[in-house]
Every structure is written in C-alpha cells, then in structure tokens.
C-alpha cells in the first residue's frame, strides 16, 4: 500500500522536473510511510526510500514503516546533511518539497545544508490523499460510527442546568475510555452561543426552550470523524422549528446532487441558494462542506469558489447552517463518501428535530 502511494507520488513529480521528494508534514508522512511519530523526514526516490528519525522513534519506525530504510539522526542537530547524503547516493538531481507547509527559516536552513536543487511542490500529496482507498474509507466510517455512539451516550444528559463544558467533558471521556483521540475539541453550543459556528464549550448552563449544537468526532487509525446535530431542549418556538427545517431541506437538496462528476460549487449552490430563497442567505456564511481524512479539513471543499469535480473515494461533509446573531444557530452535518453511482452516508444519527 505505502509503496504504491510512493510510486504514484513519483509519477506526479517527475513531469515537474523532480526525481525525488522530501516529506516532513506529519499527515503526509503517515500517508506515505505509516509512521506516526512526531519527528521524521522521508526521502522518496525510485532507488531509495529512507525515513530519518531520532532515537525515540527508531523502534516505532521499524515497526510502522518496514518498507523504508530507517536512518537514525540526532534530534538536537540538523539532519539535512544526512538527507543530502542519501539523495546523492540515490543519484537525485532535483528534490521536491512541500512548499505549502514550510517556513522561510526552514527553507533557508535546508538550502544552506542541502546542495541539491529543490523544487516547490505544493498540494501534490494532498491531491493524492483526496481519493481514499477501501481501507481509508472503512477507517473513516468507523470513526464516524464511534462518534455517533458518543452522541447517543451524551443525549440523556442534556437538560436544563447542565453546562456545555459538562457535556463536552463527557464526550471526550467517552472517546478516551475507548482509546480514540478526538478529531478536534468538541463544539457544544447552547442558546445564543449556537449563533457562533465554531464556539467552544463554556460554563454556560443550558436552559429550557433553546437549541444545543453538537459538533465533534474521534479518530480511528488516524482518520477523522466529524458530524453535527442540533437538538432542542424543551419546547422550541415555531421560528426555531421553521429554521431547523430549512437547514434540513437544504442539506437534502445538496445530498441529491452528490455523484461522480458533480462540481463542488454546484453542490454548494444547491443548499446556499435554497437558504437564500427562504430569506436567510446572510446567515449562512461558511462553506457547505470539507473533505476529511488524516486531517479533519482537507480538499476538495463545497464552496462557491471550488470547481473541482467529485470522484469515487472522496469523503466530504455536507453541513449547511443558519446562525441568528445572539439568538441561536442550527447546523446539520453528515460525512459521505462518493461512490461510483452516488454516495455512502457514514452518519446514522437521525436528522429530524429531536426535542429533549
């Protein structure tokens, strides 16, 4: 699997003039080698695949990345002379690097100690990562299944007087107890806090007659879960019910358009146009969705600016929302995988308004 990914990477960079690739971004390292440690560099060439890491990770690297030569380096000393030696031994003439993930200081240091031509290759590995294979798809499916299970565990605790932080803590404890890291810090936003799409949990106590938005996920085998449900505590107003239904209908319209060849911007427009038609266009200001994988936000995305076409293996969110400042917000999010004839929805949680 990893060797096939490396082969496809080399096929991508060779037409650009590079014959090798230097990889340091953690998620890209993991995608190409399986290595999960925090300190390493990969050198990938047809004649040599090397992983440079320090004493702390040598045994781990040998276990996780058996197809790579594991080369020890000092964690307190620059490694680039060692990488340059491997490149020269492989006969590399031009080495690509992840120019979208490095600092100016990093680049200046590497150029100083790496006497081989360097070629910026932004986004090239991320383009490969966009199309998930069967193993990745099942990992994302499991991450979302465990996430839905956590919500089902927490919902009985949602009642007036319980704080957002209490619920966020319960979610994180549920994941930690099962050994699943969180994809991101959970969002639990009640009442007026729900009008802020990425508002983190606070000490605010839930009150009767308001919405609570949950947005969270865990990781399984490194792959992210991410979904959102908004529930009502006590009796919602007619306005609250109406807005919830608009958001739900907007998501359904977007889902109907998901298939191979569909343009991301067209899927976004389906939901965004409907919300605008209902008079709430000014209150839906974020993109309709984003891909997920080793990172919780990947490309492509459902935005009005993205002209990418969907293809089988892309795993992406559909999350329309309406946010009335200082009053309340509603968001509903599913994660789907594009298939050869449509999509597979990873989220089993009901979407009709749940009143607790």
**What is the pLDDT, as a whole number, of residue 79?**
87
Is there a contact between 34 and 64 (Cβ–Cβ < 8 Å)?
yes
- 148 and 291 part of one domain: yes
pTM, rounded to two decimals: 0.95
Q: CA torsion 15→21→26→29, rounded to 10°?
A: 90
Specify if 350 maps to a domain: no
- 120 and 202 part of one domain: no
Specify if 353 maps to a domain: no
**What is the pLDDT, as a whole number, of residue 102?**
93
Is there a contact between 172 and 186 (Cβ–Cβ < 8 Å)?
yes
- 304 and 323 part of one domain: yes
**What is the pLDDT, as a whole number, of residue 154?**
97
Q: Give CA angle at 317 (315, 320), nearest 5°.
A: 160
- 110 and 152 part of one domain: no
Question: CATH number for the domain including 100?
Answer: 3.40.350.10
Domain boundary among 128, 159, 175: 128
Specify if 354 maps to a domain: no
Is there a contact between 2 and 76 (Cβ–Cβ < 8 Å)?
no
- 232 and 201 part of one domain: yes
How does the average pLDDT of the chain come out, rounded?
96
Query: What total of structural domains would you count in the chain?
Result: 2
- 219 and 90 part of one domain: no
Domain boundary among 128, 143, 161: 128
Query: Under 8 Å CB-to-CB from 117, ≥6 apart: which residues?
Result: 93, 94, 95
The tens digit of pLDDT for each residue in 26-74 reads 999 999 999 999 999 999 999 999 999 999 999 999 999 999 999 999 9
Structural domain including 269 reads 134-345
- 202 and 121 part of one domain: no
- 228 and 80 part of one domain: no
Extract the residue ranges of the chain whose pLDDT is less than 50.
none
Please give the Cα distance from 122 to 202 (Å, whole number).
Answer: 38
**What is the pLDDT, as a whole number, of residue 288?**
98
The pair of three-digit structure tokens given for residue 256, joined into one six-digit string = 């109907």
**What is the pLDDT, as a whole number, of residue 130?**
98
């Amino acid at each position: 699997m990893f060797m096939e990914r490396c082969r496809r990477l080399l096929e991508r960079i060779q037409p650009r003039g590079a014959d090798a690739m230097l990889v340091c971004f953690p998620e890209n390292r993991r995608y190409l080698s399986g290595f999960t440690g925090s300190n390493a560099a990969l050198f990938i060439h047809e004649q040599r695949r090397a992983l440079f890491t320090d004493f702390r990770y040598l045994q781990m690297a040998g276990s996780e990345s058996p197809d790579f030569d594991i080369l020890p380096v000092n964690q307190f000393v620059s490694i680039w002379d060692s990488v340059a030696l491997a490149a020269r031994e492989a006969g590399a003439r031009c080495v690509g690097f992840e120019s979208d993930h490095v600092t100016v200081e990093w680049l200046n240091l590497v150029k100083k100690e790496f006497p081989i031509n360097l070629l910026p290759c932004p986004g090239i590995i991320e383009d490969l990562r966009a199309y998930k294979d069967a193993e990745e798809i099942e990992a994302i499916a499991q991450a979302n299944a465990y996430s839905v299970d956590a919500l089902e565990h927490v919902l009985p605790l949602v009642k007036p007087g319980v704080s957002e932080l209490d619920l966020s803590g319960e979610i994180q404890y549920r994941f930690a107890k099962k050994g699943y890291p969180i994809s991101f810090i959970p969002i639990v936003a009640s009442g007026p806090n729900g009008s802020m799409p990425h508002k983190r949990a606070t000490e605010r106590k839930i009150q009767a007659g308001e919405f609570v938005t949950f947005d969270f996920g865990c990781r399984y085998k490194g792959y992210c879960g991410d979904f959102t449900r908004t529930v009502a505590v006590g009796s919602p107003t007619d306005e609250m019910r109406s807005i919830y239904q608009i958001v739900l209908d907007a998501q359904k319209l977007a889902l109907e358009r998901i298939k191979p060849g569909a343009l991301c911007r067209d899927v976004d427009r389906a939901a965004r146009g409907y919300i605008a038609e209902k008079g709430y266009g000014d209150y839906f200001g974020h993109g309709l969705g984003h891909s997920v994988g080793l990172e919780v936000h990947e490309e492509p995305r459902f935005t009005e600016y993205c002209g990418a076409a969907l293809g089988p293996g892309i795993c992406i969110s559909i999350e329309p929302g309406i946010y009335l400042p200082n009053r309340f917000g509603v968001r509903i999010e599913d994660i789907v995988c594009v298939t050869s004839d449509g999509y597979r929805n990873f989220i089993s949680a009901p979407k009709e308004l749940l009143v607790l």
